[in-house]
Amino acid sequence: MAWRIEKRTLSGERAPWWVFPAALFFAVFVGALIFIGLGVNPLEAYAAMLKGSVGSFFHFSEVVVRAIPLILTGLAVAMAATMLLWNIGCEGQLVWGGICAAGTGLFLAPHLPPFLVIPVTIVAGAGGGALWALIPGLLKAFLNVNEILTSLLLNYIAIIFMEHLYFGPWRNPEGFGFPGTAQISDLARIPHFLGTRIHLGLVLALVLAALIYGGLRYTRWGYRVRAIGLNPRAAGYAGFSIRRQIVGVMLLSGALAGIAGMAEVSGIHFRLQQGLAVGYGYDGIIVAWLARLNPLAVPLAALLLGALIVGGEQLQSLLHLPASISMVLEAVLLFGLLLSETLARYRLVRRPDAPDRSAAKKETAP
Amino acid sequence: MTASPPPALALDNISKRFGDVVANQAISWSLQAGRIYALLGENGAGKSTLMSILSGRYQPDEGTIRLNGRPVRFQSPAQALEQGVGMVYQRFMLVEPLTVTENILLRRGPVSLARSRESRALRELAERYGLAVNPDATVRDLSMGERQRVEILKLLHRQADILIFDEPTAVLTQTESESLFAILRRLKTEGKTVIFITHKLEEVMAVADDIAVMRRGRMVSQLAADKVRSQHDLARLMVGREVILNVDKPPVTIGAPVLTVRGLTGPGGTARPSFRNINFDVRQGEVFTLTGVAGNGQEDLVAALAGITSLAEGSVTFKARRYSAAGWRNRPAAGMAYIPEDRDRVGSIAAFTLVENFLLTRLAEGKQSPLLNWPQVADETANAVKRFAIRGSGIQGLAGHLSGGNLQKLILAREFSRKPDLLIAEQPTQGLDVQATEDVWQALLRQRETSAILLVTGDLKEALSLSDRIGVMFRGEILDIVSARDTADIDRIKLLMAGLGAR
């Protein structure tokens, strides 16, 4: 008897249940090694992280606050990846959502009927992100330019443009020279809940997650998106316009990231300033993958990553570890997931006998 | 028993199955050094499988391969090449931005610093075999003929003694083909064993010493080339005396033409279009078949008729509406259904359930509300599963888990449910077992009552069993259209397929 590793052939089969626990275990284990390397007792470190993230209502509310943009960017990445598009540009789209929300709150709000200010802000944020994502979308659909590169590079342009605004034309004249715009109108601030920093963005994010989940399963549009993602040739045979879907999905993906930026500006910062582009766009990639592209699992994955980020900040202040420790832990978690997913794609099979011997046996037969 | 040396290559009772399909059955073949062997057979006769076994891509289920009398077993093409068996594929395996020398040395890992010495050695090797190719040229800049010579050089550099060519002239011009034959003869005088797969009978007559013919997975004939008097003999050997299965063919009244094509020519650009001046019509209640050896333009013609690729010239009249060559692709999709050749990767989505697959080509039907009516689709799927006896793990199982026959039945049921006026079925039973083939045939024959059917098949038995009329394609043109009822005509089909016997 010989054992052999064989690749599972069919895509689209559910991964076994153990993939996620295995990834988590891997992350905790490798994380512990890193803590030991840094001269910290891993038990102490994990305890600090747990206490700092779920140890009290206040701490947990901060985790939720971080999870809000992560849900939205996670949905944005998952949405695009469902159709095999890699939107690495959520960071830039988030920035544009923020720019448009800030612009609305600063300049447009005074001229609008009060009840319209928040809806207009939301639409502006979504529109800003969508238009920024339209660029890689059109390039991909009509010129087949790789969207990974274009969407990624556009991030830097968006960030620099935002800096130009708050260092230059939009800078607060009464800001004592600090970079940043003035505070947006009170009317443009989205409501908060339970006396915490948790804001309306949470409701938006959860509703959108449910809508996308349902949309993919129960609408004609969603059927086309899934079909193209699973088998573009069959989708072409069925007569679906792949170009149109690419543009549409990129618009939607950008709009989701734009809403994340809008919610950060209108719910947390109340102005455009440094600290908007802190990597939620890139974290969205991890969230989407942790959620296995399932929109309903995205909020849970975002909470996990939010806890990791908030817990990591505790390590920094309590144990004086470098600030980048939470990014390292995020990376370890992603690697753990990729590793266990890869393993799940193979299985052990038994082969009846070794090949050479069977040939020899036949040779000696009369 | 003679004391002659063992054959350079001997196959002994080689069998290979893929699921239920027997691709090779008990094949024995013995080949001597210094001879050129032609391997003939229709599509799906098992030639490619056999050569893949020889070159290490597949492992046989049964049987032994012997090299110079010694049993061998290859786990990979690399192992086969190590033992001296190499293959030149139809699609060349070359890295285009690299030079000829780099391509040849590639499999050895990092290219050595003494590259000039290596390319001198290659130049000598090339000269010895008459392979005119510059070792320092970049592969991207080479013609197809030159690329093929690089592939040959690659094998010779690895000291291959047995060289297998899969339809080597398919990509070559006439002159390039002739110089390939010169190279093959040179290889032979150097004591190599050459095997080439081909459909072209004149090539066999021109260059082969020995001929082996496969049919339906079996080796049906082996003979010396000088025993063959004419290409007609070969054509008969290749296709055989087909017995028409007793398919119950209910009579259907044949009506007016549903599809009429006139002067259809494919886009060619600078090259020859893959089909030219095609004229035929398909009438209500009729099965009209296009047949021919693979690569004679049928595939491209169907793709253009199905609206997947474009047409250059001619006109198509469908349901009494005339379309220009350019207008055909943008016509409304209704009224036509297409069963593509590749049911796994084009006709269905493996990771979708049966229900989801049942919707694939029908999304544009009915009222276009944004929401899908899944319960209704599930009902329709359940009915189709019952009516067509599709066996699988239920309608919510994945299509990728169905066997080929059951998947094809699902696709048929889906396309039939669109109530098409014209059904195009491309190689609908390729790779299916006997039972599934009969099921598919019966279903197609029943469908004649409501649709005109354009069948495209390389399987003559299928063509004869189902068709009313058969158009035979050769080199992009329909040589003749014959009646499937006329026995004298049936004999001519085989000749037409080989490009002979046109009136």
Per-residue confidence band for B169, with pLDDT thresholds at 50, 70 and 90: confident
Q: What's the confidence (pLDDT) of residue B502?
A: 62
Q: What's the confidence (pLDDT) of residue B272?
A: 73
Does any domain span residue A73? Answer: yes
- Asked if residue B232 and residue B358 are part of one domain, the reply reads no
Q: Please tell me the distance in Å from A56's CA to the nearest CA on chain B.
A: 43
Per-residue confidence band for B157, with pLDDT thresholds at 50, 70 and 90: confident
- Asked if residue B372 and residue B358 are part of one domain, the reply reads yes
Q: What's the confidence (pLDDT) of residue A354?
A: 39
Per-residue confidence band for B246, with pLDDT thresholds at 50, 70 and 90: low
Residue B455: pLDDT above 90? yes
8 Å CB contact between A254 and A78: no
Instruction: Write out residues 26-85 of A within 8 Å (CB-CB) of B.
Output: none
pLDDT in tens, A90-133: 999 999 999 999 999 999 988 989 999 999 999 999 999 999 99
Domain around B110: 9-239
Percent of all residues in chain B with a pLDDT value above 70, rounded to a whole number: 92
- Asked if residue B206 and residue B75 are part of one domain, the reply reads yes
Per-residue confidence band for B13, with pLDDT thresholds at 50, 70 and 90: very high
DSSP β-bridge partners for residue B444: none
Question: Mind spelling out the 3-state secondary structure of chain A?
Answer: CEEEEEECCCCCCCCCCCHHHHHHHHHHHHHHHHHHHCCCCHHHHHHHHHHHHHCCHHHHHHHHHHHHHHHHHHHHHHHHHHCCCCCCCHHHHHHHHHHHHHHHHHHHHHHCCHHHHHHHHHHHHHHHHHHHHHHHHHHHHHHCCCHHHHHHHHHHHHHHHHHHHHHCCCECCCCCCCCCECCCCHHHCCCECCCCCCECHHHHHHHHHHHHHHHHHHEHHHHHHHHHHHCHHHHHHCCCCHHHHHHHHHHHHHHHHHHHHHHHHHHHHCCCCCCCCCCHHHHHHHHHHHCCCCCCCHHHHHHHHHHHHHHHHHHHHHHCCCCCHHHHHHHHHHHHHHHHHHHHCEEEEEECCCHHHHHHHHHHCC
Give the residue on A whose Cα is nearest the Cα of B344.
A234
Does any domain span residue B4? Answer: no
Of A119, A87, A82, which is closest to residue A254 (Cα–Cα)?
A87
Q: What's the confidence (pLDDT) of residue B501?
A: 66
Percent of all residues in chain B with a pLDDT value above 90, rounded to a whole number: 30
pLDDT in tens, A225-275: 999 999 999 998 998 999 999 999 999 999 999 999 999 999 999 999 988
Mean pLDDT, to the nearest integer, of B307-318? Answer: 88
Mean pLDDT, to the nearest integer, of B38-64? Answer: 86
- Asked if residue B461 and residue B394 are part of one domain, the reply reads no
Q: Mean pLDDT highest for which of B75-79, B340-344, B357-361? A: B357-361
Residue B328: pLDDT above 70? yes
Q: What's the confidence (pLDDT) of residue B110?
A: 59
Of A221, A230, A363, the CB nearest to B349: A230
Q: Please tell me the distance in Å from B371's CA to the nearest CA on chain A.
A: 4
**Residue of A13, A14, A220 to mutate, interface with B, max B Cβ within 10 Å:** A220
CATH of the domain at B185: 3.40.50.300
Q: Among residues B239, B261, B285, which one ends one of the domains?
A: B239
- Asked if residue B386 and residue B374 are part of one domain, the reply reads yes
Mean pLDDT, to the nearest integer, of B122-145? Answer: 84
Of B75, B349, B363, the CB nearest to A231: B349
Per-residue confidence band for A357, with pLDDT thresholds at 50, 70 and 90: very low
- Asked if residue B342 and residue B309 are part of one domain, the reply reads no
Q: What's the confidence (pLDDT) of residue A217?
A: 94
Ranges A254-268, B228-242, B363-377: which has the least confidence: B228-242
Q: Please tell me the distance in Å from B59's CA to the nearest CA on chain A.
A: 10
Percent of all residues in chain A with a pLDDT value above 90, rounded to a whole number: 58
**Tokens representing A236?**
């072409």
Does any domain span residue B2? Answer: no
Q: What is the DSSP letter of B353?
A: B
Q: What's the confidence (pLDDT) of residue A239?
A: 87
Q: Mean pLDDT highest for which of A150-159, B46-55, B267-276, B393-402? A: A150-159
How many H-runs (helices) and E-runs (strands) does chain B carry?
15, 20
Which residues touch A230 (CB under 8 Å, ≥6 apart)?
A11, A12, B349, B350, B351, B352
Does any domain span residue A115? Answer: yes
Residue keyed to tokens 């083909």: B177
pLDDT in tens, A24-68: 889 889 999 999 998 889 898 999 889 988 888 999 999 999 999
Amino acid in position A103: G
pLDDT in tens, B423-437: 999 999 887 776 788
Does any domain span residue A109? Answer: yes
Distance between CA atoms of residues B289 and B468, nearest Å:
8
- Asked if residue B135 and residue B90 are part of one domain, the reply reads yes
Does any domain span residue B360? Answer: yes
DSSP β-bridge partners for residue A181: A171
Mean pLDDT, to the nearest integer, of B312-323? Answer: 89
Does any domain span residue B209? Answer: yes
Amino acid in position B305: L
- Asked if residue B257 and residue B228 are part of one domain, the reply reads no
**Tokens representing B335?**
């009224």
Q: What's the confidence (pLDDT) of residue A364?
A: 36
Mean pLDDT, to the nearest integer, of B14-19? Answer: 85
Q: Mean pLDDT highest for which of A90-104, B83-97, B137-151, B487-501? A: A90-104
Domain around A261: 65-299
Task: Let me know the angle formed at the C-alpha of B381 by B378 and B382, rounded to the nearest 5 degrees.
Answer: 85
Does any domain span residue A127? Answer: yes
Mean pLDDT, to the nearest integer, of A280-307? Answer: 93
Mean pLDDT, to the nearest integer, of B223-244? Answer: 71
Q: Among residues B239, B264, B292, which one ends one of the domains?
A: B239
DSSP, collapsed to helix, strand or coil, labels residue B398 as: strand
Residue B17: pLDDT above 80? yes
- Asked if residue B201 and residue B134 are part of one domain, the reply reads yes
Of A218, A239, A363, the CB nearest to B71: A363
Of B75, B359, B401, the CB nearest to A355: B75
Mean pLDDT, to the nearest integer, of B114-126? Answer: 78
Q: What's the confidence (pLDDT) of residue B243?
A: 46
- Asked if residue B160 and residue B70 are part of one domain, the reply reads yes
Mean pLDDT, to the nearest integer, of A273-290? Answer: 91
Task: Supply the ipTM of this predicted assembly.
Answer: 0.82
B chain contacts of residue A362, beta-carbon cutoff 8 Å? 64, 71
DSSP, collapsed to helix, strand or coil, labels residue B22 as: strand
Residue B140: pLDDT above 80? yes
Q: Among residues B418, B452, B471, which one ends one of the domains?
A: B418
Residue A145: pLDDT above 90? yes
**Residue of A9, A226, A233, A237 to mutate, interface with B, max B Cβ within 10 Å:** A237
Residues in chain B: 503
In chain B, the number of structural domains is 3
Does any domain span residue B3? Answer: no
Does any domain span residue B445? Answer: yes
Range B316-320, long-range pairs (CB < 8 A, 24+ positions): B316/B259, B316/B260, B316/B261, B316/B262, B316/B264, B317/B257, B317/B259, B317/B260, B317/B261, B317/B262, B318/B258, B318/B259, B318/B260, B318/B421, B318/B422, B319/B258, B319/B421
Q: Does A143 touch chain B (CB under 8 A)?
A: no
Amino acid in position A194: L
Does any domain span residue A268? Answer: yes
Per-residue confidence band for A366, with pLDDT thresholds at 50, 70 and 90: very low
Amino acid in position A221: W
- Asked if residue B408 and residue B360 are part of one domain, the reply reads yes
**Tokens representing A113?**
């009927």
Residue A1: pLDDT above 50? no
- Asked if residue B259 and residue B212 are part of one domain, the reply reads no
Per-residue confidence band for B460, with pLDDT thresholds at 50, 70 and 90: confident
Does any domain span residue B1? Answer: no
Q: Mean pLDDT highest for which of A137-141, B39-43, B168-172? A: A137-141
Does any domain span residue A255? Answer: yes
**Residue of B360, B373, B410 to mutate, interface with A, max A Cβ within 10 Å:** B360
Strands B62-67 and B210-215, how do they pair? unpaired
Mean pLDDT, to the nearest integer, of A69-82? Answer: 96
For chain B, list residues whose CB is within 8 angstroms of any CB belonging to chain A.
Answer: 59, 64, 71-73, 75, 307-308, 333, 338, 340, 345-352, 356, 359-361, 363-364, 368, 370-372, 374, 398, 400-401
B346 contacts A10? CB cut-off 8 A: no
A chain contacts of residue B363, beta-carbon cutoff 8 Å? 220, 223-224, 238, 240
Does any domain span residue B45? Answer: yes
What mean pLDDT is reported for chain B? 85
A chain contacts of residue B345, beta-carbon cutoff 8 Å? 231, 233-234
Q: What is the DSSP letter of B275?
A: S
In chain A, the number of structural domains is 1
Mean pLDDT, to the nearest integer, of B229-250? Answer: 65
Residue B158: pLDDT above 90? no
Of B307, B346, B374, the CB nearest to A234: B346
